[in-house]
Amino acid sequence: MCRVPGPTLADIARAAEVSTATVSHALNGTGRIGEATRRRVRETATRLGYGTPGPPRGRTIGIAVTTFPAAWNYTEIAYFSRAVTAATSAAHARGYALTTLPADRAADDSWHGLAVDGMVIMDSPRGDPMARALRARGIPLVFDGVPGDPCPGDHWVDNDHEATTREVLDHLAASGARRVALQSGNGDEHYARAVTAAYEAWCAERGTPPLVVCFDPADDQGHAFDELLRRPDRPDACYAAYDPGGRQLLSAAARHALRVPDDLRVICASEDPAYARTAPPLTTVTLDPERTARTAVTLLIDLVEHTRTTAPGPVTVPARLLVRASCGAQPAAG
């Protein structure tokens, strides 16, 4: 069945005699515009059928990462690359195309006219303009990770980051580590906040001061660790919560003449199989992006087709610790 395209922001702007920027602000609840103008724009959008639910436009769903506003190629990161591949396979198995959207949020107005039946949004931060725009249109959403601005009825798929962080820290402590540092993100995504909070709580329970280093994706040589590793009471272990952190730690350890794992135990959250071939092989945490993505796509298509009976809220995917030589413990058999 052919569907006539819905109205665009420009259509609404012409009918309401305002600019497209004013339309965007009115529909998103942002900007400094008068209440009368905001109400008129929204009434015009409703009259024109903007955001009115209707038949699928072409059995197409989308996927995007909206954590950071700048343009960056998230498919070069192992987690997102594997997630997108699994999401594509899951969508195709249900007879849907999958559109992978760029991360650049500069032209968020385009999302008001995005021709998708539903969207998987990965690492959605607070104030996410894509989520706001698609919610305004009634487009079904499923989140990979806890949404920054959760609403009643939301569905999301995530790991138990608190339990996973504690498992990593307990593993390091059991291997003999006494001063464990954390490399975590400084963004607003739930993942960074959850991992950091779990680490700080773990340290407080043991009466040890937290040692947190901010992750910098451009810091290939791990210079952010230099100050920490020069201290007389330097850490004897570190958990890197982001994929490049393991390589950064290996570079920093070599620069400071520290042996891994004898002087510094290292664990990294990563889906990159190359960590099994570093010197020494690095212990990693896998968040199972394939299972997460497949689950999210299945949830989304069920919502699009109105067959979803699962209650809103989280679906938890287990994480797993892949023990190798870098954490000072014997790798598991097999």
Q: Which pLDDT belongs to residue 333?
A: 46
CA gap 298, 89 in Å, rounded: 11
174 vs 68, residue with greater confidence: 174
**Two tokens at 101?**
């959207």
Domain ranges of the chain: 1-52, 56-157+292-315, 161-286
The CATH superfamily label for domain 161-286 reads: Response regulator (3.40.50.2300)
Distances in Å between the Cα of 24 and the Cα atoms of 35, 38, 87, 190 are: 14, 10, 30, 26
pLDDT tens profile 227-274: 999 999 999 999 999 999 999 999 999 999 999 999 999 999 999 999
Write out the E strands in the chain.
Answer: 60-65, 97-100, 118-122, 141-144, 155-158, 180-184, 212-214, 237-240, 265-269, 283-286, 313-316, 320-322
pLDDT, mean of residues 27-48: 80
The CATH superfamily label for domain 56-157+292-315 reads: Response regulator (3.40.50.2300)
Identity of residue 144: D
323 C-beta neighbours (distance < 10 Å), count: 17
Any idea which of 31-35, 167-171, 279-283, 303-307 has the lowest mean pLDDT?
Answer: 31-35
Looking at the DSSP bridge assignments, the partners of residue 320 are 286
Q: Which pLDDT belongs to residue 331?
A: 46
pLDDT band at 44 (very low <50, low <70, confident <90, very high): confident
CATH code for the structural domain at 1-52: 1.10.260.40
Phi-psi region of 129 (alpha: psi -120 to 50; beta: other; left: phi over 0): alpha
CA gap 218, 222 in Å, rounded: 9
Cβ-contact 42, 16 below 8 angstroms = no
pLDDT, mean of residues 166-173: 98
Q: Is the pTM of this model over 0.75?
A: yes
Identity of residue 122: M
Cis peptide before 209 (omega within 30 of 0): no
204 vs 30, residue with greater confidence: 204
Fold match, 56-157+292-315 / 161-286: yes
pLDDT, mean of residues 161-185: 97
pLDDT for 211 beyond 60: yes
Question: Which residues does 88 contact at the CB level (< 8 Å), separation at least 6?
Answer: 98
